[in-house]
Structure 1
Amino acid sequence: MTTRADSIANQVSQLKTAMAGLAPAKVLATFEAEQAELNAAGVPAAAATPGTHLPDVELISAEGTPVSLHTVTNHSPAVIVFYRGAWCPYCNIALKTYQEQLLPDLAEQGVALVAVSPQKPDGSLTMQQRHELAFPVLSDPGNVLAGVLGILTAPNAGAREAQAKLGLDLTTENADGTHTLPMPTVAVTDADADHIVRWIDIHPDYTTRSEPATILAVLDRVK
Structure 2
Amino acid sequence: MATNIPSGSLASIVASTIPTDIPLQEQIDTFVARGAKYVPEEMARQVDSHIEHLAASGVAESALKEDEQAPDFTLPDALGQAMTLSQLLTQGPVVIIFYRGEWCPYCNLELRAYQKALPQLQELGATLVAISPQTPDHSLSTQEKHELAFVVLSDRGNRVARAYGLAFALDEAGKALHAQIGADLPVYNGDNSWELPVPGTFLIDQSRTVRLASVDSNFFHRLDPSAVIARLKELK
Task: Give the TM-score normalised by structure 1.
Answer: 0.88
Correspondent of 1:149 among 164, 167, 182: 164
Runs of 5+ unmatched residues, structure 1: none
Instruction: For 1:185 and 1:60, locate their aligned partners in 2 and report how far apart those are by CA, in whole Å.
Output: 19
Preserved CA contact (<8 Å) 2:130 2:152: yes
For residues 147 and 198 of structure 1, the distance between their equivalents in structure 2, rounded to whole angstroms, comes to 19
Deviation string, structure 1 residues 135-177 (Cα, Å, up to 9, x no partner): 0011111212211111122333223212222332212211443
Is 1:19 aligned with 2:35?
yes
Which residue pairs with 2:5 in the alignment?
none
Structure-to-structure mapping, 1:53-202, within 5 angstroms: 53-72=69-88, 74-100=90-116, 102-192=117-207, 195-202=208-215
Q: 2:51 aligns with which of 35, 40, 43?
A: 35
Q: Deviations over 1:181-217 (max 9, x none)?
A: 111111111123xx22222111111111001111112
Partner of 2:224: 211
Tell me if structure 2 keeps the 8 A contact 1:12–1:90. yes
Check conservation: 1:73, 1:114, Cα contact below 8 A.
no
Q: Percent identity?
A: 35
Q: Which moved more, 1:176-185 or 1:204-213?
A: 176-185
For each residue in 1:38-81, what CA deviation from the matched residue of structure 2 results, as whole angstroms up to 9, or x when unmatched? Answer: 33445544322223323332201111233322334554211111
Contact 2:103 2:182 in 1 (8 A): no
What code does the residue aligned with 1:137 have?
Answer: V
* Structure 1 position 123, deviation (Å): 1.4
In structure 2, the CA distance between the partners of 1:87 and 1:74, relative to structure 1 (3 Å rule), is farther
- TM-score (ref. length: structure 2): 0.83
Structure 2 unaligned residues grouped into runs of 5+: 1-18
Cα RMSD (Å): 2.2
Letter in structure 2 aligned against 1:200: A
Q: Distance in 2 between matches of 1:55 and 1:9?
A: 28
